[in-house]
Amino acid sequence: MPDVQLRYFVTVANEGSIRKAAEILNLAASALSRRMTQIEEELGVPLFERHARGLRLTEAGRIYYDHARQTLRQEAWAIGEIEAIRDLRRGQIRTVCVEGTIGSIMTEAIAEFRPGSPGVKLSVIRAGSTGVVRAVAADEADLGLAFDPPSHRDVMVITEARAPLYAVCAPGFDLPPGPLGLADLARHPLAIPPDSSYGIRDVIDRVVRQHADIVLDPPLICDSIYGLTGFALRGQGVAILPMCSILEEIADARLETRPLTDPALSGARLALLARRHRTLPPVARRFCSILSQKLIAARA
């Protein structure tokens, strides 16, 4: 097993702060600082530049950081292979996903996975699409689910499926029947995510950039799918959402949808992501396979 100092070092490097890293590691900042000094003394070179805003890796620090991450990845792989020998009954799988998939795709995958691997610990963290990509690239998550994710050289798409966006409103809300364009929705009160780090907002912004005549002035900016859905449920206006985030409300006839005609909105996709050139442990591969099936089967 690699020295625990490698994990401490990587955490400090990621956070750029002894104090923040100590909070994450549940250590005293003074003890963690001594650990970093000890590593530098053993190597005979400084690994961090100290400045007013925190710590920055030196050239030697970046080399040691790459070594530490590779060693920790190899440890995770070895442990994963050992877990496979134990019939995939133990281990840990870290996932990060956009909020709209938690109540449908992710929950269904977990329900199918757990009976065969009841001892496996699962973590599901919510993030915007950009945050999902960053977490996977940084090895902070084994798998990610993102809506129209930005490309990243260290992240690959395992599976993707159509996830068109819809205009979503309460029954009786004054929207014309049939397909609509974003220009039509701009005349109504809208609820949208705050910025392009959220995949839905990124797609919306792409359409706005292509059409100078579309001006959006939404009365609600919200970073939660539940907040956007609630706005529509209470007849306040229109939300722009994928079907997987409103399945229960549609089934109960509490919400109605209108297809959207803008190609970027109607052609949006959900993607299952993993780190490029990384071999997932067997237990994570099993969950990945189930998650892929749920993603493909998801109602568009």
Q: Answer yes or no: is pLDDT of 103 > 90.
A: no
- Closest listed residue to residue 147, CA positions, set 132, 129, 135: 129
Task: Work out the pLDDT band at 91, boundaries 50, 70, 90.
Answer: confident
What is the rounded distance in angstroms from the CA atom of residue 136 to the CA atom of residue 94? Answer: 10
Which pLDDT does position 163 carry in this prediction? 94
> How does pLDDT run across 15-55, given as a tens digit for each residue?
999 999 999 998 999 999 999 999 999 999 999 998 878 89
CATH architecture of the domain covering 86-160+269-297: 3-Layer(aba) Sandwich (3.40)
CATH architecture of the domain covering 165-266: 3-Layer(aba) Sandwich (3.40)
Helix (H), strand (E), coil (C) string for 5-18 = HHHHHHHHHHHCCH
Give ranges for CATH 3.40.190.10 in the chain: 86-160+269-297, 165-266
Cβ atoms of 225 and 245 within 8 Å: the answer is: yes
- 28 burial type by CB count under 10 A (0-12 exposed, 13-18 middle, 19+ buried): exposed
Single pTM value for the model = 0.70
> How does pLDDT run across 285-295, given as a tens digit for each residue?
999 999 999 99
Which pLDDT does position 279 carry in this prediction? 84
- The yes or no reply on domain 4-74 and CATH 3.40.50.300 is no
Which pLDDT does position 1 carry in this prediction? 45
What is the rounded distance in angstroms from the CA atom of residue 144 to the CA atom of residue 135? Answer: 8
Give ranges for CATH 1.10.10.10 in the chain: 4-74
